[in-house]
Structure 1
Amino acid sequence: MSAATFAAVFAALYAAHTFGDHWVQTHHQACGKAASGWPGRLACARHVATLTATKLLAVAALLVFTDLTVHPAALAVGVVVDAASHYAADRRRPLAWLAEVIGKGEFFRFGAPRPGTGDAPHLGTGAYALDQSWHVAWLFIAALIIAAG
């Protein structure tokens, strides 16, 4: 595995993640992806699909404009692993459960809207911080898979 390939792929995935998770994701996807039942599952799947497409475009641009190459199968596996981890986290209940199990439940709830209101006292929340750190950790794993191929 080339350290340069890993670093470049990780950077491309990270840049695409921050753009795709905040700019490409629609308001409907953001508000609906944690809802119960099929409406929530579909909103989350649509978000993950557009986010994954954004990441693939970033890696494709990296490969076109540099001399790097990656094995197509490794790219496919890495992107699928990342997409599956993103879907699980964005359904919210799995990440909330994990936070409770490892003693981070109070932090997960930090900054959440007060019960019975739709307000958010500030933009940052514990749930958001844990969500984004989860995604970045899986980007690291995906980049390792892609670079190792």
Structure 2
Amino acid sequence: MSRNAKINGLLLLLVAALAVLPLALGLGDHKEEPFAGADAEAETAITELDPDYEPWFSPLYEPPSGEIESALFALQAAIGAGVLAYYFGLRRGRRQGEARAQARPGARAGAGDAADTDAPAGAGTAPAAGAGTDAGDGAAPGRRD
């Protein structure tokens, strides 16, 4: 097993332990809502310290139940995880694409290097009319797919 696989396995085990241990050890059994969020905990602490405290503002939207509030929170977390996964996947794909392009046997060193070819300088560098340009065809400039 490689070093990265061992580290990933250890991290997965640690995350599972963080999720299971509070439930297994009964942490929070003495509370009315054992695993309430930080907002509810803060509200309870504030009302215990200062019963006359009035909030500065009220929420723009108050969900009708705790289940809907939890579902909205989970949806927000899922969207955030999706955005992060897309970003990291895009970076990895670009990096792999660059590595493949460099590893290709016929890869050119640069756009202006014509020393390897028998064609005269400038021959074949201009695209055909409408081919490969960004005149609304949706292709990225300079890309040929």
TM-score by length of 2: 0.26
Q: Relative CO higher for 1 or 2, CA cutoff 8 Å, sep ≥ 6?
A: 1
The structure richer in helix per residue is 1
TM-score by length of 1: 0.25
